[in-house]
A and B are shown apart, each in its own frame.
Chain A
Amino acid sequence: MVTLKLILRNRLAAFGGIVLLAVCCVALLAPLLPLADPDITDPVNRLKRPFSDGALLGTDHLGRDLLSRLIWGTRLSLAVGIAAALIAAFIGSAIGIVAGFYGGRIDDLTMRGIDMLMAFPYILLALAIVAVLGPGLLNALYAVAVVNIPFFARNIRGVTVSIAHREFVDAARLSGMGRLRIIWSEILPNVLPVIVIAMSTTIGWMILETAGLSFLGLGSQPPQADLGSMLGEGRKLLINAPHASIVPGVMIFVIVMSVNLLGDGVRDALDPRLRAGALSRPAAATRVERPSPPAAGKTDALLQVVDLQTEFQVGPRTYKAVGGVDFEVAPGECLGLIGESGSGKSVTALSLLGLVASPPGVIAGGAVRLDGEDTLSMNGEALRRVRGGRVAYVFQDPLATLHPLYRVGDQMVEAIRSHRPLSRQEAWNHSVALLEKVRIPNAAARAKAYPHELSGGMRQRVGIALALVNDPDLVIADEPTTALDVTVQAQVLALLDELRRERNMALIFITHDFGVVAQLCDRVAVMYAGRIVETGPTEEVLAAPRHPYTRRLIACVPELGGGRRALSAIPGLPPPVDALPAGCAFAPRCDKAQNACRQGEVVLQSCGMRAVRCLFPEGATP
């Protein structure tokens, strides 16, 4: 049902579906329609033009009514195309599943056979099959089906192989299920959508191929009409009576087109990736849709973020990932941005230079001022110059964030040359120097390596070096150590800290780990459900957290040398950001929450260097 709705929501697919349905209805109703007999010849009235008396679409070379033959022919062609697709899908999928599931020699042998079939020019295979079986639409159907078996077998085998080694299949094996039963109850249901997708995309192709065979004279037997043979007959009269070939040609085109439209819709609806929100291309910069930027406050901060709001609009829902965030970073200062996953800290960081994927991301309000200039109002070129120039990013998981097909040195060179008019060689030397700087041994050689050839720690160092190439004033590091083991993590942190001090560079450090914040940051801002709930100098916050959430978060950190201490996880989950509760977002999980907490907006209350968004902060008298 959901699938059907998704298909219908796609207007083109719906259009294709409707056209196809109409064609099918007419074809199915052919016996009931007031049509002339499609096989009655009338040589005297041959090749009448369309719209002539008694023959709406004209007549063919034997004086038969083209409209009637078209409808009867469509009926036959559709049936054959669909039947061929079903047969090919059935046999091909069976072969693919067996080969993929059993693997080993069976797999090898079948796939070599399939390779051989694929290497055989498909049209000749079809010709040969028809030549052996004799003419006739049914044989053409078999030929088209056989020719398309390899396509299904290959696709389905690939999917089966990936499924055959998944946990639930292993579990089924261990539970003593027979192989056939596993195929039937575990593999098949998971492969089925792929089969349906493959079918929906090939059925149009099948109709074309059947028409092609008929066109070459290997299809239906006269006087029976199918679209391909009508086209073949009409082709001989191309110059004298173009309508005889144009009419069936247009019909084939309409059918295949609507099948393709519908097939695309089915694919979009069934493919889990596409289903999760159509594949959409993120724009160069996040879309900004804010009423008007808030007035600039006087500040000497390097970066000033005012009431930043970032939303994700997915279908009818709006996820408020960042719901009004304010903070400042002074030159050379290190600010920690901390929170659980989903708290909006990464989105906040990405929003600063419009790097949130858009669609679906939208910056719905606020301003980000770099030395007083709002990055959210910058045009493409100005923004590009800031990115990687004055402000640079270090991302989590450099295996995914570095381009897999470029050498790391080249990626750095590119970053340099996007901002400075250096020669390639100069930029390369500079890059190698930086790689040395981040303590990559044998940097000159490593610069020529591809990301996948480096270890995780090395890759992260490359990520850091990449951020430093243009001597930025501000580096935004988004959980740069999460993927690393503890010793490497410590090294990387030490490196970052050293670099920051040496270059007097400001740093926004995003993490979920208070231990890391304690080691690195001057100030910390704690985020929860898209908002900052507490901020202040690191030592003070650590020493005396004011927000219950901060307190609980600190409690999660094992203290080095602190022995075994009860690590109290925070019960419950953060609220979904598309349905934030009224009042304090943490209230549902807070053991101190009171009724007042669940009503009305709770404001961030400043007190000197510190601020907290809580009606009943820790350490205060209730």
Chain B
Amino acid sequence: MLSYLIKRLIALVPVLLGLTVIVFAIMALIPGDPATAILGSFATPENVEKLNRDLGLDKPQVQQYLIWLGNLLQGDLGRSYSLNRPVLDEVLERFSATLILAGAALLLCTIWGLLIGIWTAARQYGWTDKILTFVVLIGISVPSFWLGLLLILLFAVELRWLPASGMFAIYGGGDLPDLLRHLILPALTLSVVATGVIARLTRSAMLEVLRQDFIRTARAKGVSETRVLYGHAFKAALVSIIPVIGVQAGFVLGGAVYIETVFQWPGVGRMLVQAISTRDILLVQGGVIVVAASYVLFNLLADLSQSWLDPRVKA
């Protein structure tokens, strides 16, 4: 088990290294440079050249990458051009905000997705099933950024029940209830699509499992129907649902960009979009590494819980 874990973590390294090469290459291909971004209207070729020299960007790309890589091995992710602070500080701060948002969304979508999936499977072709299936379909069809706007319009602007944006109130905030109030709308918006996906998958996985022979065995044993559903069928269905939750975790992290933009959530997705537009290559690198690593770790977590759940899968 432990050696498996170590092997998986080691396998992560080449993936991340490959990613950093891709990021460097892409950033090199994008027209414009950090100096132009910083200078804005004042970006004369002369000024740009001088600033690039000051920033150490006049060296060949390959050399720049190797320098960066060398620093990375010493735990130094460099300093952001556009924010004037260490990349690591910024990335960690932003990433924890994203984790809170994505984590809450993931929690919501997992709980609701599984519950809706089980309910609809248990009441197949009944009214609950029909209504919930339709609601789920609406959920996966609605553009999440648009939904976010509508929610802001309703709950923040018109009703004034919840804050429109940000992570904490400016004054009197900063505690957990404050965070939760700010979290409700964005987490909800972010979770809608994933809830739909998980619910649909859970429903079909449950239906598939419920036709299996061992369910008949459970019934033949006289096990109560509740236990048949939540114990036997759900446990077996979970084996095929967990990898999908892992994939959804990746989508939730990725989709956070829109939601962070709409709700002004200070997350890593928005940071990356800004970093790309300011050509802040080191910040992009730092952000991509963290996001990609967490994506891979989410999947690893999914694999681990799958093998924990299913003794047939050898970890």
Contacts and interface: CB of A to CB of B under 8 A. Distances in A.
A119 B295 contact: yes
B30 A131 contact: yes
Contacts of A253: 138, 141-143, 146
A83 interface: no
Interface in B202-220: 204, 206-208, 210-220
Name the residue among B124, B214, B220 with the largest chain A CB count within 10 angstroms.
B220
A525 to B, nearest CB: 21
Interface in A398-433: 400-406, 411, 414-415, 418-419
A530 B253 CA distance: 57
A385 B138 CA distance: 42
Given A249-B143, A387-B221, A257 B276 contact: no
Contacts of A282: 210-211, 215-216
Contacts of B29: 132
A572 B276 CA distance: 73
Interface stretch (B85-93, B169-177, B223-231): B223-231
B310 interface: yes
B222 interface: yes
B254 interface: yes
Nearest to B157: A239
Contacts of A245: 146, 149
B250 interface: yes
Contact of B207 (A216, A281, A403, A453): A281
A121 B30 contact: no
A93 interface: no
Contact of A118 (B124, B204, B250): B250
Interface string A88-131: 00000000000000000000000010011011111110011101
Contact of A405 (B22, B137, B236): B236
Contacts of B292: 119-121
B258 A212 contact: yes
Interface stretch (A58-66, A173-181, A313-321, A388-396): A388-396
Contacts of B137: 257, 260-261
Given A238-B153, A400-B213, A353 B220 contact: yes
B18 interface: yes
B213 A115 contact: no
B295 A418 contact: no
B143 A121 contact: no
Majority SS at the chain A contact face: helix
A280 B124 contact: yes
B22 A357 contact: no
Which interface class (under 10, 10 to 19, 20 to 34, 35 or more) fits A? 35 or more
Contact of A357 (B211, B220, B295): B211
Q: Of residues A279, A419, A452, which shows the largest number of chain B Cβ atoms within 10 Å of its Cβ?
A: A279
Nearest to B222: A388
Contacts of B295: 118-119, 121
A587 interface: no
Contacts of B223: 384, 388, 414-415, 418
B310 A405 contact: yes
A386 interface: yes
Contacts of A118: 250, 295
Contacts of A284: 219, 225, 228
Given A212-B258, A257-B141, A128 B26 contact: yes
B216 A355 contact: yes
A72 interface: no
B166 to A, nearest CB: 17
B214 A404 contact: yes
Contact of B269 (A121, A238, A395, A406): A121
Contact of A260 (B125, B140, B146, B261): B140
B296 interface: yes
Nearest to A383: B222
A401 B211 CA distance: 11
Given A212-B143, A215-B145, A238-B153, A418 B221 contact: yes
Contact of A121 (B206, B207, B228, B291): B291
B204 A279 contact: yes
Contacts of A392: 220-221
Interface in A116-155: 116, 118-124, 127-129, 131-132
B79 interface: no
Contacts of B269: 121, 123
Contacts of A357: 211, 216
B258 to A, nearest CB: 6
A292 B143 CA distance: 54
A252 interface: yes
Contact of B220 (A211, A212, A355): A355
Nearest to B216: A355
Nearest to B15: A116
A419 B216 CA distance: 17
Contacts of A411: 221
Given A212-B258, A282-B215, A128 B30 contact: yes
A242 interface: yes
Contacts of A120: 19, 22, 288, 292
Nearest to A384: B222
B272 interface: yes
B7 interface: no
Contacts of A364: none
Nearest to B232: A403
Contacts of B311: 404-405, 450, 452-453
A231 interface: yes
A132 B30 CA distance: 5
A368 to B, nearest CB: 15
Nearest to A227: B143
A281 B146 contact: no
12 contacts: A120-B19, A121-B292, A123-B254, A128-B30, A235-B145, A249-B143, A281-B207, A386-B222, A387-B219, A404-B310, A418-B222, A452-B311
Interface of B: 14-15, 18-19, 22-23, 26-27, 29-30, 121-122, 124-125, 137-138, 140-143, 145-146, 149-150, 152-153, 157, 204, 206-208, 210-225, 227-228, 232, 235-236, 239, 250-251, 253-255, 257-258, 261, 269, 272-273, 276, 288, 291-292, 295-296, 309-312
Given A131-B276, A402-B214, 20 more contacts: A116-B18, A116-B22, A121-B254, A132-B30, A211-B143, A212-B145, A215-B258, A231-B143, A245-B146, A249-B150, A252-B143, A260-B137, A282-B211, A357-B216, A388-B220, A392-B220, A400-B214, A415-B222, A418-B227, A450-B312
